[in-house]
Chains A and B, each alone.
Chain A
Amino acid sequence: MKRFMVAFTLLPFLALPARADTMEIKVLGMVCAFCAQGIEKHFRDEPAVADVMVDLNRKLVAVLLKPDAKLDDAAATRIIEDAGYKTASLNHTDRPLDIIRAEGKN
């Protein structure tokens, strides 16, 4: 009975929407919007990608993945390379792009 109660209590939490799955990628040499178009274009072509943000000032590309969609790190790194750039670091966070955008305007 106790186990049943615990499971029943946790059930609503399991039904909550998944947290944002965001790739935050630091890119070397990203200094020009004209040249960085390929980064946005190629990420938006990926079915797993919901949204993309490029920030030249922070040399940051943030990629929001669709719920339950996957884009592995190697594929993301290859997209950066196909755009002519080099990845300095790649981290997975649960931060929405709005928060990351707002940080760049401060």
Chain B
Amino acid sequence: MNEARFRISLAAFLTAVIVFAPLAAQAHPVSFKNGTGVMFFATPEWQDLEVFHSFEADEAAGLRVLRLDGEKNGQSLDRRVFGAQYNKLLKRWWWEDAQANIYLGGGLGVADGKGVSGDPVGIGLLQADYETQRVYSALKLDLFESEEFTHLNWTADLGASPYAANYDELAPWFILRFSQMTGMDDKPDVIPTFRLIYKQIFLEGGVSLDGDPRLTFMIHF
């Protein structure tokens, strides 16, 4: 893809973000009908911005920008992926005091960066989670696949809250996270993480055992 086409793609993407953002979003793969969510995740080496709108209780679509800015095998790795994605809640289990979910997602994007500009990118998502008011666990696979690269970000979370926070109370969570972005990280990171939830606001911060900080912010409308 030449520069002009890339600029058009970028302009279309940003326009769509502007259109979607005021609708309010969800940051889970799917939230509630007519809910919108915005999620921003950042480490020093990669960032992910997502805006998703749930048009049904079990279906959502949105846009995302992934930016990788690290090193692999001694070479600088500076690339971006602009994508559109559809997510489906495949199955939800409800119990009196717990909930479990399986989500599946897929989409298409375009890459930008040295040697990859204009390359089409396939996006895939698989997420399973189980939670109560005191216990949280999740497994998430987030795939970015092109002819030139494969990045699979897998994350496994085990978390606990010191108390069962009610709807209008601040909910703190202590989470032990295992995560790796293949194609960039040589080994999985272990990341003690602290999460705060207050109504529609979600803030999470952690530092890997190697000292790399990371931050997640989400909001629902």
Contacts and interface: CB of A to CB of B under 8 A. Distances in A.
Interface in B164-221: 164-169, 171, 197-202, 218, 220
A88 interface: yes
Contacts of B98: 29, 31
A41 B220 CA distance: 11
B31 A56 contact: no
Contact of B166 (A28, A56, A82): A56
Interface in A35-53: 35-39, 41-42
B133 A56 contact: yes
B200 A34 contact: yes
Nearest to B93: A29
Interface residues of A, number: 27
Interface in B23-57: 28, 30-35, 57
B23 to A, nearest CB: 12
A41 B95 contact: no
A56 B98 CA distance: 11
Contacts of A56: 133, 164-167
B202 A34 contact: yes
A31 B202 contact: no
Contacts of B197: 32-34
B72 interface: no
B30 to A, nearest CB: 8
A82 B167 contact: no
Interface in B55-72: 57-58
Contacts of B167: 33, 36, 54-56
Nearest to A36: B167
Contacts of A55: 166-167
Contacts of B97: 31, 59
A27 B93 CA distance: 13
A57 B96 contact: no
A89 to B, nearest CB: 11
A85 B94 contact: yes
B198 A41 contact: no
Nearest to A58: B166
A34 B199 contact: yes
Contacts of B133: 31-32, 56-57
Interface string B70-108: 000000000000000000010011111111000000000
A51 to B, nearest CB: 14
Given A57-B166, A84-B57, A38 B33 contact: yes
16 contacts: A29-B93, A31-B98, A31-B99, A32-B133, A33-B165, A33-B166, A35-B31, A35-B99, A37-B35, A37-B199, A38-B31, A38-B32, A54-B167, A55-B167, A59-B96, A81-B57
**The 3 nearest A-B residue pairs measured at CB:** A38-B32, A29-B94, A29-B99
Given A34-B171, A34-B201, 16 more contacts: A28-B94, A28-B95, A28-B96, A29-B93, A29-B96, A32-B131, A33-B197, A34-B220, A35-B32, A42-B32, A55-B167, A56-B166, A57-B133, A57-B166, A84-B57, A86-B94
